[in-house]
Amino acid sequence: MRIAIEHRTTYRFSEPQARIVQMLRLTPCDTQDQTVVSWLVGVDRDARLRDTGDGFGNMVTMLYAEGPIEALDITVTGEVLTSEASGVVRGALEPLPPLFYLRGTARTEASDALFVFAADSAGTADDTLERLHAFNAALHRRFPCVPDLPDAGCTASRAFETGGKVSSRDVAQMFIAGARGLMVPARYASGYRAEDAARSAPHAWAEAHVEGLGWVGFDPSTGLSPDESYVRVAIGLDASGAAATGGMRIGHGQEQLAVDLHVDRLGGEE
Amino acid sequence: MAARGAFDEIWGHGGPDSPRAEFAALSRWLAETDAAELQRRQQSAEAAFRQLGITFAVYGDSDAAERIIPFDIVPRVFLAGEWARLSEGLVQRVEAINAFLEDIYGARRILREGVIPPELIYLNAQFRAEVDGVRPPHGVWAHICGIDLVRTGPDQFYVLEDNARTPSGVSYMLENREAMIRLCPELFRDFRVAPVDSYPDMLLKTMQSVAPGGNPRPVCVVLTPGHFNSAYYEHSFLADSMGVELVEAADLVVDDDVVWMQTIAGRVKVDVIYRRIDDDFLDPLVFRPDSMLGVPGIMAAYRAGNVAILNAPGNGIADDKAIYSYMPEIVRFYSGGEARLPNVETWRCREPDALNYVLANLPELVVKLVDGSGGYGMLVGPTATRAEIAAFRAALVAEPHRYIAQPTLALSTVPTLAEQGLAPRHVDFRPFVLTGSDGVRVAPGGLTRVALREGSLVVNSSQGGGTKDSFVLLDDGA
């Protein structure tokens, strides 16, 4: 599938900022089933962009801008060619072994309730893949309608227990917390999903490592594995570790963040 | 535990009347100098330290004013031969620590060859994926190491722990020496003591040697978390004595992957940073986002090879207590020979057999938290109450992987000025080892900590410990 992405992030400040340093994870990598045809990260003002990495295999762009800055527009435009792989991630750069992704983080510790839910819904099948699919489907049944919302910084356990405004980010973190609780290495994935409607945040899902298969994507927002309509951009131990944008500013006042995102399919396989 | 039976470094096993033969002269000085006179000199030194502001705050003691660490006037003395042998062991250990860090964030040969269980690395918060694959300028990781040692006999040293992150205490080595020269000049006349005052120069040369791109005139700075930090005196002291700027995070900015220092005269490019803040607080974009102490973008500058950071981010994996127990294997793996400086025997409570042994022998053992420091979260079996032992037993059973245990060693003693005159008191030792692009150097001295309470083995300054000057002699007798 040929997918076109236009992802604009706009910061507006109530008072001019003296400096901004941002760390952007906005550039996808090629894998066996994902080819980046074109990709451009642009900024609407004089700024210095530097490409770097983060140790997890993600492509990172550092953005440095000098003030006075009243607004900042970061625009990503690109095209990616994908093929169907039943959610299996093939040919990605993997600097860290699966074992690393058993590590907990403050945002992905499973509370007793979340752990029990994961263990009960995963069942007792010998096949890890089967158990993970069952857990993924159960999460989807419990949270059937999860929009892509900006990261509110919530922990997996709190989102699970309080319900409320649960996003794709939250259910992905719940899956990760539950899977690690079941001693399956799991990580957070962030990217895009070709859909009709415009949206206000990138999509999020999870990946778990299954012996013999490698890393497999699980999307609790759909209860299924990612298909060829997904573009995988960044991974991390949790939502914070894969954040698309994040930074520090020097200056007073409030910040307003708006995201405008269009992900369009341009046609089938060629 | 009483000092009886312990090796006294000056008196040997025989007490004041039959000192070790090599220490006859020093022993005479001790016997002939009036205790009241020693007391007076000691008080004078402490008054000077108070005036200089060499103070520290005790964590968890909210009403404590800043205190000075008590100073003991009787020096601890190493003979030239003892020191030479000790130094060889220190160099070997620090070379292995550097090789280990280079490997663990690079090829990971030591894991592939099964020397260390991989989960001990990958599930350890001290393993920082954020620096995985990054090689620091000139391949030096642990530029400034403080290796904590204990001694049980003339040449019997054991490593208690390695400090490869931001070891402190070197200002005591320098200030204690300055006080001793002023208060006991006769010792420096009668004995040939290796000078330590070249340490700031050694440190500056080490910093300059790792400047990116081999810049011959690099700009070096000391980065401090600020004046509320318990070691702030040392940060300012070192910057001052090296003649480099002492900066806080707000003084540094990163632009285009380059670190700049903001000065009245404009921006100055920074090449080498001796940071005295923890990894967690180094860069809010990479580590803790809530940190106000860090410099946003500094890790990108480091990754790009534009700045050297001393010690390298990610070093915590080398001095982690869980890794410590593998140090003999680590030294053997990288040096090809046996460790000249042995570890204290260590039971890893994560291993069931070790845990059973530890639970059966708690009253004789020292139990430590793998991730604790400063003597907190520690059980000293022989001096613990039954309630304390019971509490540790429960904690061990609940989370065995968080603990290691060691035997209580008969730590060496050094004569120390007590209320009733000179008496043996247990000591430990932290020598400082510097690694630059041009090799490894051991500063000829260090920080001797002394447990001032009779029989006590806890030398931590927060728990009743003091310090002594540490003489390294250029001869084999005093």
DSSP A50-95: EEEE-SSS-EEEEEEEEEEEEEEEEEEEEEEEE---TTB--S----
Whether B335 has a pLDDT exceeding 90, the answer reads yes
Whether B225 has a pLDDT exceeding 50, the answer reads yes
Phi, psi of B213 (to 5 degrees): 70, 10
- Hey, which residues 297-316 in chain B have their CB within 8 Å of chain A? 297, 300, 303-304
Q: Do B118 and A97 touch (CB under 8 A)?
A: yes
CA angle at B87 for the pair B429 and B73, rounded to the nearest 5°: 35
Q: What is the mean pLDDT of residues B369-381?
A: 73
Same domain, A105 and A182: yes
User: A185 vs A103, A108, A236, A252, A253, CA distance in Å?
Assistant: 8, 12, 12, 42, 41
Question: What's residue B372's pLDDT?
Answer: 61
Which residues have CB under 8 Å from B282's CB, separation 6+? B275, B291, B294, B295, B298, B299, B309, B313
Same domain, A236 and A134: yes
Question: What's residue A106's pLDDT?
Answer: 94
What count of CB pairs under 8 Å joins A to B? 71
- Is residue B330 within a helix (H) or strand (E), and if so which, with residue range? helix B327-335
Same domain, A25 and A153: no
Same domain, A229 and A180: yes
Q: Do B303 and A95 touch (CB under 8 A)?
A: no
Phi, psi of B477 (to 5 degrees): -160, 150
Q: How confident is the model at residue A195 (pLDDT cuts 50, 70, 90)?
A: confident
Which residues have CB under 8 Å from A84's CB, separation 6+? A33, A227, A228
Q: How confident is the model at residue B222 (pLDDT cuts 50, 70, 90)?
A: very high
Residue A1, strand partner residues: none
Q: Please answer whether residues B294 and B283 qualify as being in contact, where contact means their C-beta atoms are separated by less than 8 angstroms.
A: yes
Closest CA to A104 of B122, B421, B116: B122
Distance from C-alpha of A192 to C-alpha of A264, rounded to nearest angstrom: 10
Question: What's residue A199's pLDDT?
Answer: 78
What percentage of chain B reaches a pLDDT higher than 90?
Answer: 78
Q: Which residues of B touch A53 (CB under 8 A)?
A: 133, 303
Distance from C-alpha of B386 to C-alpha of A206, rounded to nearest angstrom: 49
Average pLDDT, chain A: 94
Same domain, A69 and A167: no
Closest CA to B343 of B370, B316, B323: B323
Whether A269 has a pLDDT exceeding 70, the answer reads no
Same domain, A176 and A101: yes
Whether B224 has a pLDDT exceeding 80, the answer reads yes
Q: What tokens does B19 get? A: 């000192």
pLDDT (tens digit per residue) in B147-187: 999 999 999 999 999 999 999 999 999 999 999 999 999 99
What total of structural domains would you count in chain A?
A: 2
Q: How confident is the model at residue B4 (pLDDT cuts 50, 70, 90)?
A: low
Distance from C-alpha of A30 to C-alpha of A79, rounded to nearest angstrom: 12
Q: What tokens does A264 get? A: 């369009």
Of B118, B128, B256, the CB nearest to A64: B256
Question: What's residue B1's pLDDT?
Answer: 38
Of B122, B130, B133, the CB nearest to A99: B122
Domain boundaries, position A33:
2-81+245-267
pLDDT (tens digit per residue) in A127-173: 999 999 999 999 999 999 999 998 889 999 999 998 778 999 999 99
Q: What tokens does B58 get? A: 């005790």
Closest CA to A34 of A63, A5, A76, A75: A5
Residue A193: alpha-carbon gap to chain centroid: 11
Strand pairing of B71-78 and B465-472? parallel
- Amino acid identity of A104? G
Q: Do B286 and A103 touch (CB under 8 A)?
A: no
Q: How confident is the model at residue B191 (pLDDT cuts 50, 70, 90)?
A: very high
Whether A182 has a pLDDT exceeding 50, the answer reads yes
CB neighbours of residue B138 within 10 Å: 16
Q: Please answer whether residues B472 and B431 qualify as being in contact, where contact means their C-beta atoms are separated by less than 8 angstroms.
A: no
3.30.930.10, 3.40.50.11290, 3.40.1190.10, 3.40.50.11890: which CATH number matches B219-270+272-306? 3.40.50.11290
Of B119, B256, B285, the CB nearest to A247: B285
Question: What's residue B3's pLDDT?
Answer: 43
Q: Which residues of B touch A102 (CB under 8 A)?
A: 119, 122-123
Percent helix, percent strand, percent coil in chain B, to nearest 5? 35, 25, 40
Q: Do B123 and A95 touch (CB under 8 A)?
A: no
Residue of B nearest to A237 (CA): B129
Q: Do A100 and B122 touch (CB under 8 A)?
A: yes
Q: Do A102 and B129 touch (CB under 8 A)?
A: no
Residue among A54, A56, A58, A61 with most chain B CBs within 10 A, to mutate: A54
Instruction: Answer whether B132 touches A (CB < 8 Å).
Output: yes
CATH assignment at residue A6: 2.60.40.2250
3-state secondary structure B386-402: HHHHHHHHHHHHHCHHH
Residue B244: alpha-carbon gap to chain centroid: 23
Which residues have CB under 8 Å from A215's CB, separation 6+? A88, A89, A92, A94, A98, A187, A207, A208, A209
Q: Is B446 exposed, middle or buried (0-12, 13-18, 19+ CB in 10 A)?
A: buried
Q: How confident is the model at residue A268 (pLDDT cuts 50, 70, 90)?
A: low
Residue among A248, A249, A250 with most chain B CBs within 10 A, to mutate: A248
Distance from C-alpha of B101 to C-alpha of B312, rounded to nearest angstrom: 9
Question: What's residue A107's pLDDT?
Answer: 96
Same domain, A194 and A157: yes
Q: How confident is the model at residue B2 (pLDDT cuts 50, 70, 90)?
A: very low
pLDDT (tens digit per residue) in B379-388: 988 889 999 9
Residue of A nearest to B129 (CA): A55
Closest CA to A33 of A79, A1, A6, A76: A1
Same domain, A138 and A204: yes
Q: Do A62 and B131 touch (CB under 8 A)?
A: no
Q: What is the mean pLDDT of residues B263-270?
A: 94
Distance from C-alpha of A254 to C-alpha of A16, rounded to nearest angstrom: 10
Residue with the larger pLDDT of the pair B402 and A63 = A63
Decide: helix, strand or coil at residue A191.
strand
Q: Do B300 and A50 touch (CB under 8 A)?
A: yes
The CA distance from A268 to the nearest CA of chain B, in Å, is 38
Question: What's residue B460's pLDDT?
Answer: 78
CB neighbours of residue B107 within 10 Å: 10
User: B333 vs A163, B95, B127, B405, B437, CA distance in Å?
Assistant: 52, 12, 20, 24, 22
Residue B333: alpha-carbon gap to chain centroid: 24
Same domain, A181 and A198: yes
Q: Please answer whether residues B307 and B254 qualify as being in contact, where contact means their C-beta atoms are separated by less than 8 angstroms.
A: no
Same domain, A195 and A212: yes
DSSP A237: S
Instruction: Answer whether B254 touches A (CB < 8 Å).
Output: yes
Q: What is the mean pLDDT of residues B467-475?
A: 96
Q: How confident is the model at residue B15 (pLDDT cuts 50, 70, 90)?
A: confident
- Is residue B47 within a helix (H) or strand (E), and if so which, with residue range? helix B35-52
Domain ranges of chain B: 21-218+307-343+409-472, 219-270+272-306, 347-407
Q: Do A99 and B119 touch (CB under 8 A)?
A: yes
Q: Do B129 and A19 touch (CB under 8 A)?
A: no
Instruction: Answer whether B266 touches A (CB < 8 Å).
Output: no
Distance from C-alpha of A175 to C-alpha of B458, rounded to nearest angstrom: 46
Same domain, A29 and A76: yes
Decide: helix, strand or coil at residue B157.
strand
CATH assignment at residue A210: 3.10.620.30
Same domain, A232 and A260: no
Q: Which fold has domain B347-407?
A: Dna Ligase; domain 1 (3.30.1490)
Closest CA to A245 of A266, A259, A262: A259
What percentage of chain B reaches a pLDDT higher than 70?
Answer: 95
Q: What is the mean pLDDT of residues A12-23?
A: 96
Distance from C-alpha of B455 to C-alpha of B383, rounded to nearest angstrom: 10
Whether B77 has a pLDDT exceeding 50, the answer reads yes
- Amino acid identity of B147? I
Q: How confident is the model at residue A270 (pLDDT cuts 50, 70, 90)?
A: very low
Q: What tokens does B383 get? A: 């001096």
Question: What's residue B419's pLDDT?
Answer: 86
Q: Which segment of A52-61, B31-40, B230-239, B284-293 scores lowest on mean pLDDT?
A: B284-293
Whether A22 has a pLDDT exceeding 90, the answer reads yes
Q: Do A95 and B133 touch (CB under 8 A)?
A: yes
Q: What tokens does B461 get? A: 């300054």
Q: What is the mean pLDDT of residues B341-365?
A: 94
